[in-house]
Amino acid sequence: MRNEIKGLNEECGVFGVFGVPEANRVTYFGLHNLQHRGQEGAGIVTTDGEHLYQHRDRGLLSEVFADPSDMERLVGDAAIGHVRYGTSGHNSINNVQPFLFHFHDGDIAMAHNGQLTNAVTLRRKLEDNGAVFQSDSDTEILIHLIRQNIHMGFMPALKKTLNMVKGGFAFLFLQKDRLIAALDPNGIRPLCLGQMPNGAYVVTSESCALDIVGAKLIRDVQPGELLVIDKDGLHEDRYTDDTKLAICSMEYIYFARPDSIIHGVTVHSARKQMGRLLAKEQPAPDADMVIGVPNSSLSAASGYAEAAGLPYEMGLIKNQYVARTFIQPTQALREQGVKMKLSAVRGVVAGKNVVVVDDSIVRGTTSKQIVRMLKEAGAKSVHMRIASPPFRFPCFYGIDVSNRAELMAAHYSVPEMCKLMEADSLGFLSVDGVVKAINVPDAGDAPYGGLTVAYFNGDYPTPLYDFEEGYLKSLNEQEKRARKERLSK
């Protein structure tokens, strides 16, 4: 869906609940409101206190659970669920989470949002010790590390393991008698805690998943935290104290749903504020109106319009019926491609000077098509305003931007980009503007107001291990190829 437009994909969303009847359906509805975080696969594991039950498959949540009997089998009052953006590889059902592992001393399920920066290194070491992997997922590494240390007991083994993996991660574990949640030491990926009317605790990626199941947001899970929920309630613990908040700014800018509240900030409000600051930093003096790129940029666009004192109009329409199975235009009809998803509203933009607000630019192809589409619809001039800074550096924490080669801003200056997309002007919000607009209340003295802005300035909050310049070169050829393939699948 939008990922095809933007070329920017979240890896996943997670949802866990403990102590509620029909935990399967509660999780299903929770995942429903996380569907924007991943449309390629979904799954749920439940427990009735004795056994764990799993159903997962590729596709949208509604496709995965198209057969009601698959839902019926998931009995019990605790569950974890997962939606996944992921590979198109055909057997990638192996990679669809939650994973479920059977051991003679008890079963365990896992769901994960994020990416490890030392996954290759760890996996290599594990394989050298005889480990057999079934998926290409970072997530599986964790269970192998735990099992290598299981003689210590599960919780000590888990804590040790969480100190061995690096990067951005939000993990949920389900055992027959408890739900466990863990967040990386920088809190890069979002994870929050809620409570249902009956007292059952919920842990999930975004607060919008709490709303749909009638749960109240308690607080965000903190960097380095390890929460255990069982029949005795919530046990708050930590696996490390070496933490510093650096939440992914792209969650506010693009990924999260507008109604989610992350670290005290409503996403819609943050976006609207970005739009307002953008209007100040990058005015468009002769414009007649402001339009947004639907749907993720509408908040910022209305903020820009408000601050600029311009009318906010609907100049672009998004077709809500675009499906995976859509027939694509042939070569001869190719130029109508983007129009499958977006249409310009001729009656609105014809003869006008238009400000288009978009939340971000990744590959730049969409921006170019939008400009062209608006001009074909009669716009006199098109001024692109981007409510975030130029996206110049890859993410290694769970956003799927595989390499710098695809990042337009990594290769071109702003004037060059403006020319390439045939816009009449182009302006970006500054890093400082992003920080001010979001204004995380509990950031303390964390750099960049507690945000990860590495995509814009290259200042990563963690070491990069496998992704350090030169590291991958040191692997042998076969492993590099395999790694590459897995990443590209």
Residue ranges of alpha helices (H) inside 213-297 are 249-250, 267-281
Minimum Å distance from CB 407 to a second copy?
27
Determine if residue 67 is labeled as part of a ligand binding site.
Answer: no
Amino acid, res. 347: G
Q: Are 71 and 28 within 8 A, CB to CB? A: yes
The amino acid occupying position 341 is K
Residue 124 CB, nearest approach to a second copy (Å): 6
Contact residues for 284 (Cβ-Cβ < 8 A; gap 6+) = 308, 353, 355, 383, 385, 425, 427
| Closer to a second copy by Cβ: residue 208 or 429 | 208
Residues 6+ apart with CB under 8 A from 177: 47, 49, 230, 231
**Widest pairwise Cα distance in the chain:** 73
Closer to a second copy by Cβ: residue 268 or 368: 268
Q: 48 a known binding residue?
A: no
Which member of 3, 234, 258, 414 binds a second copy (CB under 8 A)?
Answer: 258
Does position 175 bind a second copy by CB under 8 A? no
Asked whether position 302 contacts a second copy by CB under 8 A, the answer is: yes
**Is residue 336 a contact residue for a second copy (CB under 8 A)?**
yes
Sign of CA dihedral 392, 431, 316, 6: positive
From residue 479, alpha-carbon distances to 140, 164, 350 in Å are 18, 22, 55
Q: Which of 70/230 has CB closer to a second copy?
A: 70
> Which residue lies nearer to a second copy by CB, 266 or 439?
266
Point out which span in 11-19, 336-344, 417-425, 432-440 binds a second copy (CB under 8 A).
336-344
* Residue among 261, 269, 255, 266 nearest 192 (CA): 261
Residues 39-58, one symbol each (x = binds a second copy by CB under 8 A, - = not), give x-----------x--xxx--
By CB under 8 A, tell whether 412 contacts a second copy: no
* Beta carbon of residue 86, minimum distance to a second copy (angstroms, whole number): 16
Distance, in Å, from the CA atom of 131 to the CA atom of 304, rounded to the nearest integer, reads 54
Query: What does the alpha-carbon distance between residue 423 and residue 383 come to, in Å, rounded to a whole number?
Result: 6
**Is 358 labelled as part of a ligand binding site?**
yes
Is residue 36 close enough to count as binding a second copy by CB under 8 A? yes
Is 12 part of the annotated catalytic residue set? Answer: yes
By CB under 8 A, what part of segment 87-106 binds a second copy?
90-91, 93, 100-106
CB of 400 to a second copy, least distance (A): 19
Token pair belonging to 487:
């990443």
Residue at token pair 């709303």: 211
At closest approach, how far in Å is the CB of 410 from a second copy? Answer: 30
Q: How far is the CB of 342 from a second copy (least distance, A)?
A: 10
CA–CA distance, 349 with 378 (Å, rounded to integer):
6
**Which position among 10, 40, 136, 251 is part of the footprint of a second copy (CB under 8 A)?**
136
3-state SS assignment for residue 37 = helix
Among 17, 274, 344, 423, binds a second copy (CB under 8 A): 344
Nearer to a second copy, 242 or 321 (CB): 321
For 477, other C-beta atoms within 10 Å of its C-beta total 7
Residues marked active site are found at 12
Task: Pick out the residues of the known binding site for Mg(2+).
Answer: 296, 358-359
